[in-house]
Every structure is written in structure tokens, then in C-alpha cells.
Amino acid sequence: MTVRFGLLGAGRIGKVHARAVDSNPEARLVAVADAFEQAAKDIATAYGAEVRSIDEIEAANDIDAVVICTPTDTHADLIERFSKAGKAIFCEKPIDLDVRRVEECLEVVEKTGAALMVGFNRRFDPHFMAVKKAIDDGAIGKVEMVTITSRDPGAPPVDYIKRSGGIFRDMTIHDFDMARFLLGEEPVSVSAHASVLVDKTIGEAGDYDSVSVILETASGRQALISNSRRATYGYDQRIEVHGSKGMVAAENQRPVSIEVANEKGYTRPPLHDFFMTRYTEAYANEIAAFIAALSKGQKAAPSGADGLAALKLADAALTSAREGRTVRL
Amino acid sequence: MTVRFGLLGAGRIGKVHARAVDSNPEARLVAVADAFEQAAKDIATAYGAEVRSIDEIEAANDIDAVVICTPTDTHADLIERFSKAGKAIFCEKPIDLDVRRVEECLEVVEKTGAALMVGFNRRFDPHFMAVKKAIDDGAIGKVEMVTITSRDPGAPPVDYIKRSGGIFRDMTIHDFDMARFLLGEEPVSVSAHASVLVDKTIGEAGDYDSVSVILETASGRQALISNSRRATYGYDQRIEVHGSKGMVAAENQRPVSIEVANEKGYTRPPLHDFFMTRYTEAYANEIAAFIAALSKGQKAAPSGADGLAALKLADAALTSAREGRTVRL
Amino acid sequence: MTVRFGLLGAGRIGKVHARAVDSNPEARLVAVADAFEQAAKDIATAYGAEVRSIDEIEAANDIDAVVICTPTDTHADLIERFSKAGKAIFCEKPIDLDVRRVEECLEVVEKTGAALMVGFNRRFDPHFMAVKKAIDDGAIGKVEMVTITSRDPGAPPVDYIKRSGGIFRDMTIHDFDMARFLLGEEPVSVSAHASVLVDKTIGEAGDYDSVSVILETASGRQALISNSRRATYGYDQRIEVHGSKGMVAAENQRPVSIEVANEKGYTRPPLHDFFMTRYTEAYANEIAAFIAALSKGQKAAPSGADGLAALKLADAALTSAREGRTVRL
Amino acid sequence: MTVRFGLLGAGRIGKVHARAVDSNPEARLVAVADAFEQAAKDIATAYGAEVRSIDEIEAANDIDAVVICTPTDTHADLIERFSKAGKAIFCEKPIDLDVRRVEECLEVVEKTGAALMVGFNRRFDPHFMAVKKAIDDGAIGKVEMVTITSRDPGAPPVDYIKRSGGIFRDMTIHDFDMARFLLGEEPVSVSAHASVLVDKTIGEAGDYDSVSVILETASGRQALISNSRRATYGYDQRIEVHGSKGMVAAENQRPVSIEVANEKGYTRPPLHDFFMTRYTEAYANEIAAFIAALSKGQKAAPSGADGLAALKLADAALTSAREGRTVRL
């Protein structure tokens, strides 16, 4: 069976998903929609698809699934529409920045029985997948403590920051999802500290750029997250998981692994400087996982409920940081 | 000038300090006292010193400085006595487990003008010293976030745990001192989570074995600390400091650095399995620093005030973990 | 301009090159030829090309360039035919196992003026490219000594060994090319030692499985090569280059970079176990370089002369090892 | 039993050995001799020994063993004298630069039955010892190929070079000993290439500064050695041993293991810049091994025969490099 796809949104990430669909032998890109028609046309031409409107894709009989890469504030509406239209849905994170709106949306999805997968791409990074596999294989015994480091090479424009929902909902949310994925238990309390150390204008926009978070589960498992909007040395993405029998860690990635030694020491190049090169394989793998789940009639994960759970942790962390108190969920 | 030393306490750590004094060309070990006379005799014989009582050392004219390695509950009394006797004092941490008692003791020290250095040995680890030097040299710009990982190979006996003041005052206290040392600012708030994941009997003794802590300073600098009483792979002691211009990190240490590769992968040996082998150089360096400060008439650091500050952070962390709230200092 | 390609040989490596051509926006795969028609058909179908005979491709007006991936003993003939037919040629290494035959063939190429690039893919590995770039950028000063380690996960079948021309012409030849590429001077003498340590049947087939080689240039620059047909831990491919100002090295590559720590130590997974996964990017990059050279009307490297030079080093090394003497070129 | 020592030669390396003897609980430094009396006095004072003449030490009843650290051209004579005097002998390498002289000397040692250990300190480096232990424990199966990298931070003065016997007898000799130690079989052929790339005055003095050597044993095991008198990044000392089941390698050592990351990449400090800091533990361990062998009545290794074997390899390598041919032993 070939899964026939419509792509909603032909921007940067839309291109990535289009390529992933096209290169998957069990999928085919049928149509592309975008408010900016030339963008849609470019992708459509490259992969032998048609340009269509969102309405046309919604009504199409030759489309089984959609990939939603439109602006965040359209996600929930589109999920509802395409759920009702009987399409399987892959939606870029987040479903919405507002927990209530996400809950409403997920009720619709539940009623319609639509397949919904949310784009927490990091679960599909080969290195993080190998960490998860090591845990599942029992290599470190029972999980006890998770440490996640996530630092961006540089802060996005303040305009983006303003629309982003803030660092916890935009950036840390990936780490909340990863923590849930690795802890194997739901966090029940959150302590967060947040500061503006990188860029004052981020603070003036009401957001933070440097955060530390502790999550704790009912049985006492802990996750530590540290985030910064700046890392001069590249995109710092590390995970380590400690268990009763040992530890497993995923190292940072760099485009080339060479080392130059001279009287100043031994120098390896900076890390990847961009999330799309750092997570190239993750993006391809997540679409492949979505297609595989559809083909086998299995549930795709991360689900809408995963998206909601991460968002709730983001909200709790924001409250914790703002009010200077541990928040219980 | 040769600094003439009396050693109070001839146990495991006393031996380490005796050797450090003996091998220092500017110091000499004159006398050793211990309730268990054979222990004192062994050290005295090895280094050409005399066995004396604590009273004799207090009254001696041929002794300039003492190293206090007796049980914790005698530290404050001995510091007071030897302050009044005009001796310089190196005291193993902690001064006392009770903040009030420490404050009283430090008042006496202040009045007498005695030189007092507290044994936070990790500040003198060559690797951590190099981290501090890199910061002081401006290699990473302004310090923003500090991450400290400290995991013991295994939990001490529950009997020890009961007398230890608990994990925050016994183990994390080293990390609180290191965080203060590296942050360059005083923490003003503390959030801690603490669990019993390693050994139930530790919990039954009223203590924790797995803790995560966030410290925040007035300007928003953050330190994250994670501790566990268990690390199957050895004594896990890592520090990383992020600043406005970059990052500096100290790696773990192992007795031998070889690597064996076979069909299972590439394996390097476990880390040091004992704090005394991990911190051999740090113990020698701290005594050398104490002697150098005395020789040059400079103030020795870490001071009594440093000991007090770390203890206050430990108390705050304990309150935070117990009461589930961020504690402001 | 779009370079229109014919693919000769639809085996394992043919597929790799077909994909590289197809995914290159400046190239198009027009036709595929293979003695085994189904293989040609599979590739043709996948990339929208036609199945044609070699004769048809030779005569075609709609084909600018060919990629030769047929068996080694057909390479020289095909190069000559397609040179005369006015096509640009990318040929998998080696041109031939016999130096005389290669020289004849290159004379034809020279007369026809055909563009010829030989598939020493390792020059296009991103890590080795970064090594070369560091040298060219002056990071290590003047090159002095090169060390190349190349160990295969396992020996090929003895049947292959027999047709391969032996380890020097089949395996070490890559390292000879790399040494020439990095030394910046031609080797003038060769000392080689060769043994059968891995598999006796390789020795019975007249070949070796473990070799060490020293190359020296006129100015005294040296290259050390070590090869084995077995490495239990994966495909061991390292290069280090020492110069007057420092050293640059390319590290080994593994599919995932995680580390598991437990009481046995710290273990990272084995390296890639197959040259096609290890050199995925190199294969894509070399075809891209060929296309770019054609598009810009530049000479493609490595050239036929490079292929010949490496083969001569292989022959000299074989003589050196067999006769137990240093061979001057 | 306490081994009572006389030290012959109170220079830089004499001090190192004096400290090692003094700190060993089973040994005592009784007397020190040096042509330059103040040097002898300094060591004697530091360790509670007497200054004596070589004749007095030879005749002394209170001395069981001597450590010979005098200039190279006195070694063979002193070994003979002290053999006849019934003393156990630890002699710094080399016994002599001339093979015949070494053979004569060893005949005397054999006749007298004296215990003789030669100072190839690297066998006692903890990391290289761990490599050897891994081999002996069967971790890599049967040894097949050894790679030894040894690069000095900088060339010694040409005056030293002239007296040194040349790079093969002075520097590579350590690697010849290590190769023999690790190969587990005697080399039967040697191919060496040698150049002057670092310093012309070394060439003018008739020596080389950059060498590559292949050793081969009767069963075909191979060792590759690369040496340079210059390494801007510090004292480069690596070993890797490949066997039928895997590989074991010893990594380079640096004084502190930190890493600084910024926009230029990740930089670790240079390696040790001096052999005495790099091999501190090795020097202590070798004297301890000598004392332990004497105490237990066992043969000390490396023996005089080991010293001779390494020298013969050095001579063969020199011939190979000079005459441009493989030399059979």
C-alpha cells in the first residue's frame, strides 16, 4: 500500500517533509498547498505533485494523509478539519500554545478516530533512539535520573520570540517530551528557574533565554533540563540517562570529526550550527515512522496526548519560574 | 620559613595530610595526636614526628599550625581552642553540621584573628583549577550557567549516613562550594528535589540518595547540581561552565586511559572508584596552598565563611526538597 | 546545463551512483545497461531512466557522460570506447590491474581528449576533505609525515581475492591514492611487509591479509600505511597528518554516537561495518564533483594519471614485500 | 628485607630514582656518588644518605644494589665493576652504544650472576602496562600488528645529538623495546626510512629527525613505529595493538583534562611537554619493580639481553635507512 500525501505549508520544514515523503517507497506526495503559491509550486514540481488549495486537499479522494507545516495558530483548526475529513495527520509541534484549545482539538480527533502524530522529531534522532533502545534493552537497569542539555547556537529574532509562546513552550517543550519519553513515568512536580542572560530584548518581550528545570515523577525519578538561547560552539544537544545498573549518554554531533593539534592544544570543529542539519535524519525518520504506522494500522507516536502533556509541563515550568515555587501537576 | 605542624586525628584522611605536610619543603610535621595511640604512632614514625596529646599540641611552642581531621562533632571546639592558642588551622569540612554552631565558632576565629582554612579539596583538583583559571582568563566571557555532576561509586554504610547530616550537608556541600566558587556570585534562591532510589535503608534513616538542585544568583546566573550515591562505572565528577563567549568543562578521570575495541564496541575502563585516588593531587595541593598562604602572610581560602555559606545552601536545599518549594536566602 | 548520464553496470555500486546522479539537480540519469537485465530495469524504473545496451548508450545523442561500474576487466575497454564516443567518463577504480594496459588506455583518453575521473571515493569523504582543507589552509604548516590506518571488518571471499589483484592493488591502493593526495609530493621509494595472519586460504590464493608500508618522497616526507583484512570492531579508517606546525587527524565514524557506562567501563558502539555505509557521503560527493567539473569545464580529479600512479605504488609495494627490499620508483 | 642502595650519578634522572628509592618502604638510599660533589650532597641531604665515592660504594658492605645514572660511556664499565662486587644493578639505558661492548659487558654479568635491570621505563607506564595486561588477559586474542607513535615536543641540542648515538639508538630504541615487549616474538627483519625534516643542523651532525620503521617477526607479526623530534602539541606517546579478536590502545596524556568550546571549536590543552612529567609514574614503578624482584629473588626485566636486543634493532634500522634496504637479523 502506498500512502498518498497532501502537504499543507511549503516553507522550510515543509520542504524537509516533502523530501522525506518522496524518498519513502511506501508513500507518494500528491498535492501541496500554501498561501504563497510559488512555494507550493516549487515543491510540487520537484516531486511530481500538484498544487491544490487546502479545501481541495480536504475534499480529495486520492489523499490519505496530510502533513501540517502551516503557522502554529492554524494547527488546531486544520487538525480538526482533516480529522473530520478522514485523513491521517502528521502535525508539526505544537498543536496550539493554549492547553484548552489543544484539549478541544484532541476531543475532535478522538471522536473522529483520526490518526494523529505530533512532530517531536528528536525522538527519531538515531543517537537518541539508540539511547532509548539501550534503556529498553535493560543496559542501565531501572531509570533513575535524566539530564538533558539543549542550547541553541543563537537566539531567534524577537519577533519570533513574541509569537513563540516563550522559551518553555517553544524550546524546552522538546526536552519535556524527551524527558517523558525517557523517564518512563509522568512528572508530577516541576521546579524551574529562568533568567535573561543572553539578550535584554528577549526579557523586554516578556520571555527568558536561560532556563533550568527539574522534573520529578511519583516514584522519585528526576530529570534535569538546561537550556540557553546561545551556544557559541554550536547546537548543543546532549542526553544522559542514569539507571540502577549504569548510564547511557548521547554525544554531541558535528559536521566533520577531525582534530587539529598545535601548541594551543587539540581542537575539534564546532558542532552543527542549525537544527535542520543536526536533525536531518530525525526528520526523515519521523515521517518514515508515521508512514510505517499507517501502513501497519498501528498507532503513531508521539500522539496528540504526548503533545498535550509536554505543553502542560511547559506551562507548569513557566508558572514555577515566574512565581518562584515548585508546581505540582 | 618552615611551618611546623601538629596533626589532630590520625585516620585515613589524617594520613593523607601527613604525607602532604611531610613532602612540602616549607613545612614539617612535628606532632600527631589521636585517641587511638597506635594510629598516631604509625604516622609519627613514618614522618619523624612525635606522638603528643591534643593538650600538648595546644600548649606547644614548636607548632605553628594544626590540621584537624578528628570526627566532625569535635571540629568547632578544636577550632576555637586552637584559635585562642594562636595556631593557624586547617580543618576538614564541615566545621559543624549546625549553622548556629558554625557562626559561634567563626566569631571566635574572627576575634582571635586566627588563620582558618576549610578543606574543600575539590577547589584544588588540577582539572577544576584549570576550569577556574580558564574562567578567570576570560576564555568563556561572563559566567552564565554551571552544571555539576557528582555521583559516588556506592553509598556509605547507613551508620555513616545517620551521623553525616544527610546527603545535602555531607555530599552536595562540595558541589555548593564549587558552584559558589565558579558562579562568581552568591546564590539567592534554591530549588531541590530529593528521592530514595538507590537504597531503601537510606530513606528509612531519614535521608535521600538522589538529588537535583538549581541555584540562582541575583543577576540570574544558574547552577544545576545532580548527585547520586551510586554510579556503577566509578566516581563521576564533572563540571561544565557556560559563559557569554563559550564553555569550559572538566572531564572525568580514570586510573588508566586505554581503550579495548572488539565486536561489542570500544571500551574504556571505569573511573576511579574512590575519592582518595580521584583527588590525590587535590589533597596535596590544598595543604600546599595552606602552607603557601601562611608563608606569604596571605588569607587562606576556602575560609570559614565559605564553609558557612555552603552549609547554609545545604540547609536551604534540604528545606526545599522536604517542603517542595523554592527557598530564598 | 544538465549532464545526461548513462550507467554501465547496475550492481551494488551502480545503485549508489544512480542515486547520486538522480539527486543531483544538475544531472539526469537517462539510461542503464547491465548484462543482467532485471538489475538494469530496477534502477531504470526507480529513477525514470531507460534500459539500453552498452552499444546504444555509446551511440546515443542524449547522453553526455557515463559511469562505469562493470567488472574490473572491462574498465579499460569501456574507457577507450566511450572516450572515442566523446563521452565524459567516471570509472570505478581500478582502470585495470595491469600497469601497461592502464598506460595504453590513458593514451587513448589523452588522444581523444575525453574527461576521465577515477573513483577514489575517499578523497570525497567529508572528514578526509576537512583534513585536506586544514592542510591547504596552512593549519599544520609543511606536511612531513602521514599515517593511514585502514582495516576492513572482514576478509572478502577467496574467490574475490583471486580476481582482485591482491591486497595492494585492491585495498591498499586507496591508501596509496590518499597518501599521494596528502603528501603533496610523489613517493620515490616504497618498503612493504606483508603477512598472512587472518586467513590461511588467502595465503593459499597467493595473497596477503596484513600489510605495513612506508612511502618516502624525494624531500624525505614519509607515509605509513597499515592494513588488515580484519577488524572485529568495524571499519577502521583513520588518517593523521603531521606538519611543521602541528597535526590534523580524522577520527573513525560509527553509526550512532552513544556511550554506555557500567561496572565494566564506558562502551561506545562498534564502527560502521560496511564501506557503503561508512562512505555514503563520499560516494555522493564524488559524483557531484564529477558533475561540477563537467558543468564548469574543469578537469575532474582524481584523474586517470592518479589511478595509474596509485597502481604503480601497489606494484612496487608488492615487489618490496615479496623480495624483501626497498623499491625505488 | 630492606634493599640498601647506592646511587651513581646525581643528575636529573638520578634525583628521580633517589626519590623512588626513598619512598619505597622496602628500600633505603644509603649513599650517593657524583663527580660534581654538590649534586651528590643535595640528594644525600634530602634523603638522609651519605656522599661517597664510587670506589667506596663498590667496597661497601652496607649496600646491596646500585642505580647507575652516570653518562652513557661509563655504563658498561660500571656494570662490570659492580657485577664483580656482587651488587644488584639497575642501569639507565643504554648499556652502551656499541653492540660488541654490550655483549662483552653482558658476558661479565652472566659470569658473576649479578642481577641486572635496564631502564626501559615505558614498560612501567600505567597505561602501557594496562595495554600489556589486556593482551596477556586475552582481550584481543593473538597479537598481529603493533603501532607505536613517539614524537618529542622538540629536538635536543645538536651537542646532545652528536653523543646520543643517533635517533635510532637514542629515541627509537624505546619503541624497539616496546615493540618486542608487545609483539611477543622477536623481529627478524627491519625496514626503516629516515629524513631530516625538522632541523637541518641535525642532518649536518649526521643524524635524522623523522623516522618510520617496520619490524616483522618470523610468523609475520608486524610493528610500525613513527618518530619525530618535533610535536608542537606536546609529547605524543601512543600505542595500539591489533590482535585476532580486537584492538587495545593507550591514549595520550595531558596534565589537565579540560575542554574549552567556543566559535572556533572544542579545544583540549596540549599534552605533557616533558618526558619526566609524562613518565613520572613509570620511573617510580620501574624502581619498585627492581626492588620487588630483588626482594623476591626473581629476575628483573627488562634485562641486559633486552637492552642488547633493542640496540641491535636500532643498528639494523640505521643500516636499513642508510642503505635503503630491508635488513634481516
ipTM for the predicted complex: 0.96
Those residues whose C-beta lies under 8 Å from the C-beta of residue B226, and which sit 6 or more positions away, are A145, A147, A222, A224, B148, B149, B150, B151, B211, B212, B213
**Is C288 a member of any domain?**
no
- What pairing do the DSSP bridges indicate for beta strands A327-328 and D3-8? unpaired
Q: Specify whether C127 is located in the same domain as C229.
A: yes
C188 interfacial to chain D (CB closer than 8 Å): no
- CA distances to C198, C255, C310, D168, D313 from C152, rounded to whole Å, are 11, 16, 19, 32, 30
Q: Specify whether D157 is located in the same domain as D199.
A: yes
Q: Mind listing the pLDDT tens digit for each residue in C193-205?
A: 999 999 999 999 9
Which of A94, A114, A134 finishes a domain? A114
Within 8 A of C232 by CB-CB distance, chain B residues are 261-263
Q: Mind listing the pLDDT tens digit for each residue in B170-188?
A: 999 999 999 999 999 999 9
Distance in angstroms (rounded) separating the CA atoms of residues D135 and A200: 58
Instruction: Give strand pairing partners of A249.
Output: A240, C259
* Cis ω for the linkage preceding A187 (within 30 of 0): no
Q: Output the nine-digit C-alpha cell for D63.
A: 649496600
**DSSP structural state of residue C126:** H
Q: Mind listing the pLDDT tens digit for each residue in A86-143?
A: 999 999 999 999 999 999 999 999 999 999 999 999 999 999 999 999 999 999 999 9
Q: Mind listing the pLDDT tens digit for each residue in B280-293?
A: 999 999 999 999 99
Inter-chain contact C265–B263, Cβ cutoff 8 Å? no
Inter-chain contact A247–B233, Cβ cutoff 8 Å? yes
Instruction: Give strand pairing partners of A247.
Output: A242, C261
Inter-chain contact D261–A270, Cβ cutoff 8 Å? yes
Within 8 A of A216 by CB-CB distance, chain B residues are 193, 195, 212
- Strand, helix or coil for residue A130: helix
Inter-chain contact D260–B134, Cβ cutoff 8 Å? yes
In the predicted structure, residue D1 carries a pLDDT above the cut 80: no
Within 8 A of A250 by CB-CB distance, chain C residues are 256-258
**Is C217 a member of any domain?**
yes
Q: Specify whether B261 is located in the same domain as B132.
A: yes
Q: Specify whether A79 is located in the same domain as A213.
A: no
**Is A288 a member of any domain?**
no
Predicted confidence band of residue C1 (pLDDT cuts 50, 70, 90): confident
Which of B57, B84, B114 finishes a domain? B114
- Mean of pLDDT over chain D: 97
Q: Specify whether A91 is located in the same domain as A156.
A: no
Q: Output the nine-digit C-alpha cell for B49.
A: 614526628
Between the CA atoms of A63, A68, A70 and A76, what dihedral angle is there, to the nearest 10 degrees? 110
D229 interfacial to chain C (CB closer than 8 Å): no
Closest residue of chain C to B261, computed from CA coordinates: C233
Q: Specify whether B143 is located in the same domain as B109.
A: no
**Is C204 a member of any domain?**
yes
In the predicted structure, residue A23 carries a pLDDT above the cut 90: no
**DSSP structural state of residue B268:** E
Q: How many CB atoms lie within 10 A of CB B260?
A: 26
Mean pLDDT, residues A314-324 taken together: 97
Inter-chain contact D233–A266, Cβ cutoff 8 Å? yes
Q: Counting every residue, how long is chain D?
A: 329
Q: Specify whether A221 is located in the same domain as A319.
A: yes
Which of D114, D132, D159 finishes a domain? D114
Q: Mind listing the pLDDT tens digit for each residue in D137-162?
A: 999 999 999 999 999 999 999 999 99
Q: Specify whether B65 is located in the same domain as B182.
A: no
Within 8 A of A270 by CB-CB distance, chain D residues are 261, 263-266
In the predicted structure, residue C158 carries a pLDDT above the cut 90: yes
Q: Output the nine-digit C-alpha cell for C178.
A: 590518499
C162 interfacial to chain D (CB closer than 8 Å): no
Share of chain A above pLDDT 90, in %: 98
Q: Specify whether A106 is located in the same domain as A127.
A: no
In the predicted structure, residue C216 carries a pLDDT above the cut 80: yes
A264 interfacial to chain D (CB closer than 8 Å): yes
* Cis ω for the linkage preceding B94 (within 30 of 0): yes
Inter-chain contact C267–B264, Cβ cutoff 8 Å? yes
Which pLDDT score is estimated for C23?
Answer: 86
Give the residue among D148, D229, D325, D238 at the shortest CA–CA distance from C144: D229
- Mean of pLDDT over chain A: 97
Q: Mind listing the pLDDT tens digit for each residue in D291-300?
A: 999 999 999 9
- What pairing do the DSSP bridges indicate for beta strands D247-250 and B258-262? antiparallel
Q: Counting every residue, how long is chain C?
A: 329
**Is C297 a member of any domain?**
no
CATH value at residue C22:
3.40.50.720
- Mean of pLDDT over chain C: 97
Mean pLDDT, residues C186-213 taken together: 98
Q: Specify whether C96 is located in the same domain as C217.
A: no
Q: Specify whether C204 is located in the same domain as C186.
A: yes
Q: Mind listing the pLDDT tens digit for each residue in A186-238?
A: 999 999 999 999 999 999 999 999 999 999 999 999 999 999 999 999 999 99
Q: List the beta strands (DSSP E) in chain C.
A: 3-8, 27-33, 50-51, 65-68, 88-92, 116-119, 143-151, 187-195, 210-217, 222-228, 236-243, 247-250, 258-262, 265-268, 327-328
Mean pLDDT, residues B70-99 taken together: 97
Distance in angstroms (rounded) separating the CA atoms of residues D252 and D271: 7
**Is B22 a member of any domain?**
yes
A247 interfacial to chain B (CB closer than 8 Å): yes
Predicted confidence band of residue B124 (pLDDT cuts 50, 70, 90): very high
Share of chain A above pLDDT 70, in %: 100
A257 interfacial to chain D (CB closer than 8 Å): no
Q: Mind listing the pLDDT tens digit for each residue in A290-301?
A: 999 999 999 999
**Is C7 a member of any domain?**
yes
In the block, residue with C-alpha cell 581542537: A267
**Is A299 a member of any domain?**
no
C149 interfacial to chain B (CB closer than 8 Å): no
Q: Are D14 and D43 in contact (CB under 8 A)?
A: yes
Q: Specify whether A7 is located in the same domain as A138.
A: no
Q: What is the pTM of this model?
A: 0.96
Mean pLDDT, residues D210-222 taken together: 98
Which pLDDT score is estimated for B5?
Answer: 98
A319 interfacial to chain B (CB closer than 8 Å): no
Give the residue among A318, A243, A302, A310 at the shortest CA–CA distance from A115: A302
Which pLDDT score is estimated for A218?
Answer: 97
* Cis ω for the linkage preceding B156 (within 30 of 0): no
Which pLDDT score is estimated for A106?
Answer: 98
Show the CA angle centred on residue D322, arms to residues D321 and D324, nearest 5°.
65
Distance in angstroms (rounded) separating the CA atoms of residues C29 and C49: 6
Per the structure, the complete domain to which residue B85 belongs is given by 3-114
Mean pLDDT, residues B219-233 taken together: 98
CATH value at residue C180:
3.30.360.10
Closest residue of chain D to C218, computed from CA coordinates: D195
In the block, residue with C-alpha cell 583534513: C131
Q: Output the nine-digit C-alpha cell for D28.
A: 633505603
Q: Output the nine-digit C-alpha cell for D36.
A: 660534581
Q: Are D230 and D154 in contact (CB under 8 A)?
A: yes
Inter-chain contact C258–A139, Cβ cutoff 8 Å? no
Which pLDDT score is estimated for B23?
Answer: 86
D224 interfacial to chain C (CB closer than 8 Å): yes
Mean pLDDT, residues B182-195 taken together: 98
Distance in angstroms (rounded) separating the CA atoms of residues C132 and C109: 28
Share of chain D above pLDDT 90, in %: 98
Distance in angstroms (rounded) separating the CA atoms of residues B30 and D205: 55
Inter-chain contact D250–B257, Cβ cutoff 8 Å? yes
Predicted confidence band of residue B74 (pLDDT cuts 50, 70, 90): very high
Q: Mind listing the pLDDT tens digit for each residue in D5-42?
A: 999 999 999 999 999 999 898 999 999 999 999 999 99
Radius of gyration of chain B (CA): 20
Predicted confidence band of residue A25 (pLDDT cuts 50, 70, 90): confident
Kindly state the helix (H) or strand (E) to which residue D252 belongs, with its residue range. Answer: none
Question: Which string of DSSP letters, residue by residue, matches C206-241?
Answer: T--SEEEEEEEETT--EEEEEEES--TT--EEEEEE
Those residues whose C-beta lies under 8 Å from the C-beta of residue C10, and which sit 6 or more positions away, are C18, C32, C33, C34, C36, C39, C40, C42, C43, C69
**DSSP structural state of residue A137:** T
Maximum separation of any 2 CA atoms in chain B, in Å: 67
Mean pLDDT, residues C222-240 taken together: 98
- Structurally, how many domains does chain D consist of? 2
Distance in angstroms (rounded) separating the CA atoms of residues A108 and A79: 9
Mean pLDDT, residues C266-294 taken together: 96
Which pLDDT score is estimated for B1?
Answer: 72
Residue burial B54-64, b: 16+ Cβ < 10 Å; e: rest: beebbebeebb
Instruction: Give strand pairing partners of A122.
Output: none
